[in-house]
C-alpha cells in the first residue's frame, strides 16, 4: 500500500506536466501567404463525371504543388478540391491556369478567375476559384488494344474455338497484363487499372445468379419439374397438339421465374421420353420448348441473363420488367406457339396414341415428386424470394440480397449439404465468365470504344427516339443471333445509358426495353444465340438426336422475325 501510494504521488504531477507541456511551448508561426482553394468537376460531353483526372495549377506559367496530394485527382463523381499556398501578394494579380490530363482523354488548360473569400485566424487571405471542365476523348494505342481484345473474345466465343469462360477470362487477363506492362512505361498503353477492373464486376449479377442456382438445385432434387411434364401429358390426354402447347406454356412460365437454362435441363429428359413413347421425333417438342423458354424468360428481371445484366446496370425493378415487357412477351408466346403447332403438324399427326391410360400410369410411376416436404419448402422459399423481388424497388434492396437470403434459408431449413450444392449445382464457369466479361467491357469503356459506338448510334438515329428504338431492337436481335447474347448485352449497357441522356424522350426507359426484347428474342434464331439453345443442342446430341446449324435456323428464324416485329410494333405504339 505504501509503495503504490509513493508511485501515485510521482505519476500524478507527471501526468499534469505532460498535459501542460504543449501550452508551455511557443506557438508555431502560421505559414505566410495567400491560400487558394480550387474546386470543380471534370466531365465528358454527356455530363458524366470522369474519375482519376490529374489536376495541376500553373501560376504565371509555373506549376505550383498542392498542399495535400500532388497532383490532386478527381474522385469517382469527377469532382475535385485542391488547396494551394501562394506567396503574399500573388493574388489576385497573377495569371492562373488549371491543366487537367488523363490517358485516353485530351489534355486541357483553363484560365481561372479568383474570388476573395475573407481571411483566416492567422490573417492569411483566402481565395477561391471554380473550374468545371468538359474533356474530349483521345484515340490512343490503348483504344486499339482494348478493341482488339474485345473482338478476339467475341470471335473465340462465336466460333466456339474455346469455352466462352476461357475466352472471357483470357481477354480480361490480357487487358490487365497490357495495362501493367506496356502501360507502366507509357500511359498511352494503359487500358484499365486493377481497382477499376474489380469495381466493374457487378456482384449484384453474380450473387443473384448464385442464389437462384442454389434454389433451383434444391428443387431439382424433388422431381418437381419432371412431375410437371407428366401432368402436361395427363392434361393433354394423348392430344399431341395440346401437349406441345402445354409444354411450351410450362416452359415459358418456369423460365420467367427460374433461369431458362436450368428449366431446359430439367424438362428435356422427360420430354424426350414422352416423344419416344408417342413415336415422334423429340425435336418437334424440344425446339418449341427452348423457343418458349427464351420468350418466357424475357418477361422478368431474373428470367434471362441479359435481363439480369440490364436490371442491375440500369437499377430497374422486377415489377418494371413485368409491366413493360409482359404484354409484348405474351403476344410473342401466342404467335410462336401457334406457329410451331403448324410447323410441326406433319410430325404430330404421325404420333401413335394407342393406350393413353397405360402411358399416363407409366409416367405417373416414373416421374413422381420424390420429396414432398422438400418440394413444399422449396416452393415456399421461392415464393418468398419472388415476393421480395416484387418489393425490392420499394425496399431499395438489390435483387441479389433476396436471392442469397432465399438460398441460405432453404439450405438451412432443408439441411442440404452446402458443399454438395456448391460443387454440383452452381455453374461456376458461368459466374467466372461474367466476371471476365465485365473486365473486358470495362477496358473498352475506359479507352473510349463504348462512347464511340454510342455516338455512332446517336448520329445514325439523328436524335430521333423512334428511330433509335428500332435501331437498338434490330441490331440487338441480329447481333444476338450471331453471337451469344450475354457479351453483346454487356457491351450495349453503357451505350444505351449514353443514349438515354443524349436523345430527348429516352428518359422513359424505352431503349432498355428495346435492348431486352432484341437480345432475348433475337437469341432464338440460331443455336449459338442464347445459352439455353447451346445447352439444349448439346443434350440432344448426347441423347442421339443431331440438330444441324442450318436445321435449327430453318425451324427458328421465321418465328424469331415474327416476335421482333411484334416487339417493334409494341414499343412504337406504347412509347
CATH number at residue 40: 2.60.130.10
Instruction: Identify the pLDDT of residue 31.
Output: 58
Q: Is the pLDDT of residue 138 over 60?
A: yes
Instruction: Identify the pLDDT of residue 286.
Output: 93
Instruction: Identify the pLDDT of residue 229.
Output: 76
Q: How many domains is the chain partitioned into structurally?
A: 2
Q: 70 and 150, same structural domain?
A: no
Q: Is the pLDDT of residue 428 over 70?
A: yes
Three cell numbers at 507? Answer: 428518359
321-342 per-position pLDDT tens digit? 999 999 999 999 999 999 999 9
Could you tell me if residue 15 is inside a domain?
no
Peptide bond into 251 cis (omega under 30): no
Spatial CA neighbour of 196 closest among 342, 350, 52: 52
Instruction: Identify the pLDDT of residue 517.
Output: 96
Non-local CB neighbours of 68 within 8 Å, separated by 6+ positions: 82, 83
Q: Is the pLDDT of residue 259 over 90?
A: no
36-64 per-position pLDDT tens digit? 999 999 988 767 888 889 999 999 989 99
pLDDT bucket at 481, cuts 50 / 70 / 90: confident
CA distance 399 to 312: 8
Q: 167 and 130, same structural domain?
A: no
Instruction: Identify the pLDDT of residue 16.
Output: 43
Q: 114 and 61, same structural domain?
A: yes
Segment 282-290 mean pLDDT:
93
Q: 155 and 68, same structural domain?
A: no
Segment 223-233 mean pLDDT:
80
What element of type H or E holds 154?
Answer: helix 141-158
Domain membership of residue 118 as a residue range: 34-134
Q: Is the pLDDT of residue 521 over 70?
A: yes
Q: 95 and 57, same structural domain?
A: yes
Torsional class of 256: left (φ above 0), alpha (ψ -120 to 50), beta (otherwise): alpha
Instruction: Identify the pLDDT of residue 22.
Output: 47
Which of 200, 221, 250 is the last residue in one of the domains?
Answer: 200
Q: Is the pLDDT of residue 15 over 90?
A: no
pLDDT bucket at 205, cuts 50 / 70 / 90: confident
Please state which of the ranges 11-20, 235-244, 279-288 shows the lowest mean pLDDT.
11-20
Instruction: Identify the pLDDT of residue 23.
Output: 46
| Placement of cell 488547396 in the chain | 83
Q: 174 and 92, same structural domain?
A: no
Which of 115, 134, 153 is the last residue in one of the domains?
Answer: 134
Could you tell me if residue 96 is inside a domain?
yes
Q: Is the pLDDT of residue 379 over 80?
A: yes
Could you tell me if residue 90 is inside a domain?
yes
| Placement of cell 454487356 in the chain | 490
The DSSP result for 30-54, as a single string, is PPPSEEEEEEEEEE-TTS-B-SS-E
Q: 81 and 117, same structural domain?
A: yes
Could you tell me if residue 71 is inside a domain?
yes
Q: 40 and 109, same structural domain?
A: yes
Q: Is the pLDDT of residue 555 over 60?
A: yes
Please state which of the ranges 58-67, 273-282, 309-318, 397-406 shows the lowest mean pLDDT.
273-282
Q: Is the pLDDT of residue 473 over 90?
A: yes
CA distance 124 to 34: 6
Q: 102 and 46, same structural domain?
A: yes
Neighbours of 26 (CB within 10 A): 5
Q: Percentage of the chain surpassing pLDDT 70?
A: 94
Neighbours of 370 (CB within 10 A): 13
Q: 70 and 104, same structural domain?
A: yes
Instruction: Identify the pLDDT of residue 24.
Output: 47
Which of 80, 102, 134 is the last residue in one of the domains?
Answer: 134
76-128 per-position pLDDT tens digit? 889 999 999 988 888 888 899 999 998 888 889 999 999 988 888 878 889 99
Instruction: Identify the pLDDT of residue 362.
Output: 78
273 Cα distance to chain centroid: 37
Q: Is the pLDDT of residue 391 over 50?
A: yes
Amino acid at each position: 500500500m505504501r509503495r503504490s501510494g509513493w508511485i501515485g504521488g510521482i505519476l500524478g504531477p507527471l501526468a499534469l506536466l505532460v498535459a501542460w507541456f504543449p501550452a508551455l511551448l511557443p506557438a508555431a508561426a502560421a505559414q505566410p501567404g495567400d491560400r487558394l482553394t480550387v474546386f470543380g468537376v471534370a466531365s465528358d460531353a454527356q455530363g458524366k463525371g470522369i474519375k482519376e483526372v490529374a489536376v495541376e495549377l500553373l501560376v504565371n506559367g509555373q506549376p505550383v504543388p498542392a498542399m495535400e496530394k500532388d497532383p490532386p485527382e478527381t474522385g469517382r463523381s469527377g469532382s475535385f478540391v485542391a488547396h494551394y499556398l501562394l506567396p503574399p501578394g500573388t493574388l489576385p494579380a497573377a495569371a492562373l491556369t488549371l491543366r487537367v490530363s488523363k490517358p485516353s482523354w485530351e489534355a486541357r488548360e483553363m484560365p481561372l478567375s479568383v474570388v476573395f473569400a475573407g481571411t483566416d485566424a492567422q490573417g492569411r487571405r483566402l481565395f477561391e476559384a471554380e473550374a468545371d471542365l468538359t474533356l474530349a476523348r483521345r484515340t490512343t494505342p490503348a483504344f486499339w488494344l482494348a478493341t482488339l481484345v474485345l473482338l478476339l473474345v467475341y470471335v473465340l466465343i462465336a466460333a466456339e474455338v474455346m469455352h466462352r469462360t476461357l475466352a472471357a477470362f483470357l481477354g480480361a487477363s490480357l487487358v490487365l497484363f497490357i495495362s501493367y506492362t506496356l502501360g507502366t512505361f507509357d500511359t498511352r498503353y494503359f487500358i484499365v487499372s486493377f481497382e477499376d477492373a474489380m469495381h466493374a464486376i457487378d456482384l449484384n449479377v453474380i450473387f443473384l445468379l448464385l442464389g437462384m442456382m442454389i434454389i433451383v438445385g434444391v428443387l431439382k432434387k424433388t422431381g418437381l419439374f419432371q412431375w410437371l411434364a407428366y401432368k402436361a401429358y395427363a392434361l393433354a390426354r394423348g392430344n399431341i397438339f395440346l401437349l406441345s402447347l402445354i409444354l411450351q406454356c410450362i416452359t415459358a412460365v418456369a423460365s420467367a421465374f427460374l433461369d431458362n437454362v436450368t428449366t431446359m435441363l430439367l424438362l428435356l429428359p422427360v420430354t424426350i421420353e414422352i416423344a419416344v413413347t408417342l413415336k415422334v421425333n423429340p425435336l418437334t417438342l424440344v425446339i418449341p420448348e427452348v423457343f418458349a423458354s427464351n420468350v418466357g424468360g424475357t418477361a422478368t428481371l431474373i428470367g434471362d441473363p441479359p435481363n439480369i445484366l440490364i436490371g442491375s446496370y440500369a437499377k430497374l425493378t422486377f415489377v418494371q420488367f413485368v409491366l413493360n415487357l409482359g404484354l409484348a412477351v405474351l403476344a410473342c408466346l401466342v404467335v410462336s406457339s401457334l406457329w410451331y403447332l403448324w410447323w410441326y403438324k406433319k410430325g404430330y399427326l404421325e404420333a401413335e396414341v394407342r393406350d393413353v391410360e397405360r402411358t399416363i400410369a407409366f409416367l405417373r410411376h416414373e416421374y413422381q415428386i420424390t420429396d414432398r416436404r422438400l418440394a413444399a419448402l422449396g416452393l415456399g422459399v421461392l415464393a418468398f424470394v419472388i415476393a421480395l423481388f416484387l418489393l425490392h424497388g420499394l425496399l431499395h434492396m438489390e435483387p441479389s440480397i433476396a436471392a442469397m437470403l432465399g438460398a441460405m434459408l432453404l439450405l438451412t431449413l432443408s439441411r442440404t449439404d452446402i458443399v454438395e450444392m456448391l460443387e454440383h449445382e452452381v455453374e461456376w464457369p458461368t459466374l467466372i465468365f461474367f466476371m471476365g466479361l465485365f473486365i473486358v467491357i470495362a477496358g473498352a469503356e475506359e479507352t473510349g470504344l463504348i462512347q464511340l459506338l454510342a455516338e455512332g448510334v446517336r448520329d445514325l438515329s439523328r436524335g430521333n427516339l423512334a428511330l433509335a428504338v428500332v435501331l437498338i431492337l434490330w441490331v440487338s436481335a441480329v447481333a444476338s443471333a450471331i453471337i451469344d447474347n450475354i457479351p453483346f448485352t454487356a457491351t450495349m449497357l453503357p451505350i444505351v445509358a449514353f443514349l438515354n441522356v443524349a436523345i430527348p424522350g429516352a428518359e422513359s426507359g424505352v431503349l432498355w426495353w428495346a435492348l431486352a426484347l432484341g437480345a432475348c428474342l433475337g437469341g432464338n434464331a440460331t443455336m449459338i444465340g442464347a445459352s439455353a439453345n447451346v445447352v439444349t443442342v448439346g443434350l440432344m446430341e448426347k441423347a442421339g438426336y443431331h440438330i444441324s446449324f442450318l436445321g435449327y435456323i430453318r425451324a427458328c428464324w421465321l418465328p424469331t422475325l415474327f416476335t421482333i416485329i411484334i416487339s417493334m410494333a409494341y414499343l412504337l405504339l406504347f412509347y
